[in-house]
Structure 1
Amino acid sequence: MRADFADRYGPWAVVAGASEGLGAAFAHRLAGQGLNLILAARRARPLADLAATLPTHTIGVHADLATVEGIRQVVDAAQGRAVGLVVANAAYSPIGRFVELDPAESGRAVDLNCRMPLALAHHFLPPMTARGRGGFVVMSSLAGMQGSPPISVYAATKAFGAILAEGLWAELRGTGVDVVTCVAGAVATPNLTGVKSRPAPGTQTPDQVAAAALRGLGHGPRVIPGLAMRVSSALMSRLLPRRTAIAVIARASRDLSPPAATG
């Protein structure tokens, strides 16, 4: 299993947003499969601490992936290395009523949550298709399946990521390159703990979500980790009227509080 995974998605993987939580879970999972890692995040110390725990060769990139320069740093770190897997995990979520948000915060969410996976896809997918193998994971959220106050901007950006990944999955079928979007519900990360007063029903660990995302490669365009979240997704997207679905997510999110969460 390990050899097959490394042959298909190695020898190098890029994990964007890798300092802790879900990104760190991806790093441990991929290192366990024998992949060397390029880990990118804004915070240098957690990145270095994580790299020190991993058994494979690791390059840490201390960069703000919401900027053109930050993306360039990742691209430079990957120069000359055969990157066979990219995990677009970094995300930013401004919390609060839209009319009260700083436009710069909304812009940052778009830059990180939309432009980042788009830029990584443009850079890394063409070489993967030329080699005839590889994988690309875009982390999305159940929040992106309907309007989600008071995280309306975050939800909209997560809808973008999911739809982008599904389109790329269709375009790249038959090339040997697998694309999947992982549409996660609540994940017990330090960021969520910092902004939500109590865990949501069906909350999963970062390792559970990372494992589900990686298992989803090659098995369709979308994976939703956890039975409770799959049931919730079906209910919200297929059975409830749209205005009811929005009201449900608004109630579920009412205990969110600033400061904004980052990933």
Structure 2
Amino acid sequence: MILQPDFHSRYGPWAVIAGASEGIGQQYAHVLAERGFNLVTLARRLEPLEKDAELIRRRHRVEVKPCSVDLAADNLAELTAEACAGLEIGLLIYNACYSVIGEFLDIAETDHHKMLDVNCRAPVIMTRTLAPAMIERGRGGVILMSSMSGFQGTAMVANYAATKAWNINLAQGLWEEFRPHGVDVLACVAGATSTPGFEGNTPQDKRSKAFPMAPDLVAREGLKALGKRPLHITGRINRAVDVMGHLMTRRQRTRFFSNATRGIYGDN
């Protein structure tokens, strides 16, 4: 049984999720499987992808193709094409990201480069690889996951925040370019989310300060917003924080969010 047949006919029958081994990407996979989508799930670690694929197949009777892919690889276009060969991909969700928290000069140069590769270069390559067939068919969708940190520069995540701003602008530009061809693009902006990455990097006694959302709620909001607008901020608290930020000067906003980040991560 296909739930929301109009959504399935516009964005199905196959969806590709980059960064699907845990957190928001994993929840996108489960929500789409509920709606009858077949899935190509991508991440570096194959074991959790395969374990989750078995669960999804049993629950929802859809096809799942888990693939181990290094999203920072030089040959990512070829790896993407190989993973999707022969499949009618109607939806790309780029959820993967790489983040290292710390003072800019204390972060290794290799980590800075990897943030650029995974957060910026890879979504360009994957969109460039998969979108032409969507445009030819006259239907499809792309969701690029971004972050509240992308709305301003923020100390301790300066490079990461810059990559997330880049994703917002890329998605909004593609929204306008692809819209006449029937392909929807969304910049989906999440705040703190209760993922293994967040819990692993954030001291337990400080997690509540970030007001983390449940990852399945983020995924459901992103899918609901697709096709309605070029940008969506998930969660009422995050939307309220964004409104508050617009009442500040750029200097005030940068200092406010930098102080908040230092308050959570500065002693780590």
TM-score, scaled relative to structure 2:
0.93
Structure-1 separation of matches of 2:125 and 2:23? 23
Structure 2: 5+ residue stretches without partners? none
1:202 shift after superposition: 3.3
Alpha-carbon separation, structure 1, partners of 2:76 and 2:198: 24
Q: CA RMSD in A?
A: 1.5
Q: After the TM superposition, which residues 61-80 of structure 1 pair with which residues of structure 2 at under 5 Å, given as runs?
A: 61-80=67-86
2:256 counterpart of 1:248: yes
Letter in 2 for 1:256: Y
Provide Cα deviations, 1:199-238, integer angstroms capped at 9, x if missing partner.
Answer: 23432110000001101111010011111100111222x2
Please tell me the residue identity of whatever aligns with 1:230. Answer: R
> Distance between the aligned counterparts of 1:258 and 1:14, measured in 2?
38
Counterpart in the other structure of 1:186: 192
Residue pair 1:183, 1:225 contacting (<8 A) in 2 also: yes
Alignment of 1:1-263 (within 5 A): 2-54=4-56, 55=60, 56-197=62-203, 198-199=206-207, 200-236=209-245, 238-254=246-262, 255-256=264-265
Query: Aligned letter for 2:20?
Result: A
Instruction: Mark the runs of 5 or more structure 1 residues left unpaired by the alignment.
Output: none
1:72, distance to aligned residue in structure 2 (A): 2.6
8 Å Cα contact 2:14-2:91 kept in structure 1: yes
Q: CA deviation at 1:70?
A: 4.2
Per-residue Cα deviation, 1:48-98 (whole angstroms, up to 9, x for no partner):
111111131001111111112344322201011110000000000111111
Q: Secondary structure at the match of 1:137?
A: strand
Task: Extract structure 1 runs of 4+ deviating beyond 6 A.
Answer: none
- Residues 161-204 of structure 1 show CA distances to partners (whole Å, capped at 9, x for unaligned) of 11000000011223211100101111111100111122234321
Structure 2 CA distance, aligned partners of 1:179 and 1:250?
Answer: 30
Q: Could you tell me how far apart the structure 2 residues matched to 1:206 and 1:181 are?
A: 16
Give the secondary structure class of the aligned counterpart of 2:181.
coil
Q: Which moved more, 1:172-181 or 1:14-23?
A: 172-181
Identity %: 40
One-letter code of the match for 1:175?
H
Q: Distance in 1 between matches of 2:146 and 2:63?
A: 28
CA 1:83–1:257 in structure 2 vs 1: closer, same or farther (change >3 Å)?
A: farther
Tell me the distance in 2 between the aligned counterparts of 1:257 and 1:80: 48
- CA offset at residue 129 of structure 1? 0.8
Query: Take 1:64 and 1:32, find their aligned partners in 2: how far apart are those partners?
Result: 27
Contact 2:141/2:184 (CA < 8 Å) preserved in 1? Answer: yes
* AA of the residue aligned to 1:127: A
Instruction: State the AA in 1 paired with 2:242.
Output: S
* Cα distance in 2 for residues equivalent to 1:41 and 1:3: 28
Separation in 2, partners of 1:46, 1:252: 33
Provide the C-alpha distance between the structure 2 equivalents of 1:187 and 1:155, rounded to a whole number of angstroms: 16
* TM norm structure 1: 0.94
Aligned partners of 2:77 and 2:129 also within 8 Å = no
